[in-house]
Amino acid sequence: MQSEMDKFKTILNIAGKQTNLGFGLVALLTAGGEQIFSTAVFKCPCNDLNFIYGMVFLLVPALALLLLGYILNRKTWKLLTGLCQHRGKPLRCKKLVAAGMILFQISTTALVAPSSWIAVALLNGNYYECAMTGTNVSIYNKHVCREKNQEAQCEKELHRFPCGKGPQAVRDDVLLSLRAESQILGWLLITLMMVTNLLLTCVARCSSPISYLQLKFWKAYVHEENNLIDSYADKHAKALAERNLKSFFEKTPPENFITPSNRDWEKISSLYKFSTKDSYYSTLHQCRYDGARPFKDLKTNKRILK
């Protein structure tokens, strides 16, 4: 049991990197996680809790994967960080539209894993069978047991069917019908996901301001910049910390140290939309060439052009 759960945790961690791995691999990993979860953890109670239990296993992991997708996306925190500090500043319509577009992009990425979970769970059928045998809705129960032998007993013992209890012939017939309904819903969801992904991709490519090859170059540049900025920031922070510690312990004046100002950090932390007018590939690229913004000397507090 423990090893199965460890595998599932590993899958969740990898799924969080869906932007780099690609939607297809994320969906595949989520499907594997659902299989592990269904086999190792899920046990239908076969009582009045069937509906709640089945729906919790179907939807709550999907919600967790959705939240994980938002949490592990860098764009989410770029969009939210410092947002409450801009309450006094008027929000322009263009900024609201841009923020809405970014939020939509984040959401489409975050929805891949939970949608895959629900689709695979429906194809499996275990959660759906458990949930629908515990609906306690007389109209639905009559529909499920309609034209079955021992119809009255079928309605009475419907919640026990997932555990292999009740009249076998009726039980097998009912569970087969429920599994078929579940798998139909699963394939419909998969089709909806694929069609939606195709439409969004077509719209994005048709409205792209740049060519296919330049778009590939832009993505490669952003990927490399994101990787390098972390290492450069670590080196810069280490150098600043060493300077301050040396000054503290040796009781000497701190040496000159040039570092980006608050405005510089704010500028490169904002989300960027490509424009063919300037041909910058990121906010960092724009910051260094748009007026050559000055940096600040931490000793003299003077701004220095770089």
Q: What is the pLDDT along the chain (306 residues), one digit of tens a residue?
A: 444 444 444 444 444 444 444 566 666 777 777 777 777 788 999 998 999 999 999 999 999 999 999 998 888 888 888 777 765 566 677 777 778 888 898 999 899 889 989 998 999 999 999 999 998 888 888 888 887 777 788 888 888 999 988 888 888 889 999 999 999 999 999 999 999 989 998 998 888 878 888 888 888 888 888 888 888 889 999 999 999 999 999 888 888 888 888 887 877 777 666 555 567 777 777 776 665 444 454 454 444 444
Q: Which of 102, 115, 147 is nearest to 271 (CA)?
A: 102
Interatomic CA distance for residues 275 and 281, integer angstroms? 9
Distance of CA 142 to the CA centre of its chain: 40
- Biggest distance spanned by C-alpha atoms of the chain: 93
Contact yes or no for 38/121 (Cβ under 8 A):
yes
Interatomic CA distance for residues 236 and 228, integer angstroms? 12
- Give 66's Cβ-side CA count (13 Å radius): 11
Q: Which of 192, 199, 51, 61 is nearest to 118 (CA)?
A: 61
* All structural domains of the chain with their residue ranges: 2-206, 212-304
Identity of residue 213:
L
